Structure 1
């Protein structure tokens, strides 16, 4: 069973409620109906479809969720997914960025200065050289990466990636794509 099949089975609200009730410990059609608030007929129809799809074992009125199918599908989907695009051409920098950047967001600000410098060099690329940014706009650009915009701003200024004067910031360091 693949992830798309599971998602298709769970796309129906009644089937989703049946799976939820089974996951929470219901073991019969009657218990699922009581836990889900669905009529017995709807539970029976949903259970039949889930059983045909391989997500539920059905023996008369007894039902059992095949929870192992979720793990199998998740592992298969992960194996089939293309590898993520490198965030840097430099393998060492890519390793650091891969550890701290997920889905275009910074998961945490590195405590180790050398790693933080790699991350800051990556973040500063959202600022165009020669453009002056008011603090509000800097916050908006940094909030896309991480909610602690004050810390990111401070690190970018302290490490020389941005310069600040009278509440206006501009890019003064970092790698520039040519």
Structure 2
């Protein structure tokens, strides 16, 4: 991506690239000394290609290839659509999918050998989503977290 940005950083090169993208560069102008100087850099960066007939083509695929992948988060592949930048963007509506998501969260956020206060549960859940009450409630109702009758403590059951 840095090579692409560097190639487009020069205003003259950027204008030339824009004219190629918009197909507004006459063939004779592409062979001028000024255009050739910048064209070599655009071609080497992969922004432009010269076709067999001598015409120039700029395709968007170079940007798709250069896109920086999101960091690996350990989220199961079928649940990655619910996350962006490490945060949960939506709580799944379908109960089965929501349960899988909650199972992933409880497995990654909580240890089975300790108890947690409600505040600790909320802090952990807040690290992935703002609606901690909903996530906590779903975890309890799905049996992934057990809450003491007085509401003072939570724990992950041994079988989950």
Q: Give TM-score scaled by structure 1 length.
A: 0.55
Structure 1 residues not aligned, in runs of 5+: 16-45, 60-65, 89-93
CA positional deviation for 1:161: 0.5
* Aligned residue number for residue 169 of structure 1: 154
Residue pairs, 1:7-86, within 5 angstroms:
7-8=5-6, 47-48=11-12, 50-51=14-15, 55-57=17-19, 71-78=60-67
Give the aligned length: 123
The verdict on how the C-alpha distance between 1:81 and 1:146 changes in structure 2, with shifts beyond 3 A counting, is closer
Residue 77 (structure 1) shift: 2.1
Aligned to 1:121: 103
* Among candidates 149, 152, 155, match of residue 132 of structure 2: 149
Which structure 2 segments of 5+ residues have no match? 20-24, 30-46, 48-56
Distance 1:85 1:55 in 2: 36
Alpha-carbon RMSD: 3.5
How far does residue 173 in structure 1 lie from its aligned partner after superposition? 5.7
Question: What's the secondary structure of 1:169's corresponding residue?
Answer: strand
Q: CA deviation at 1:140?
A: 1.1
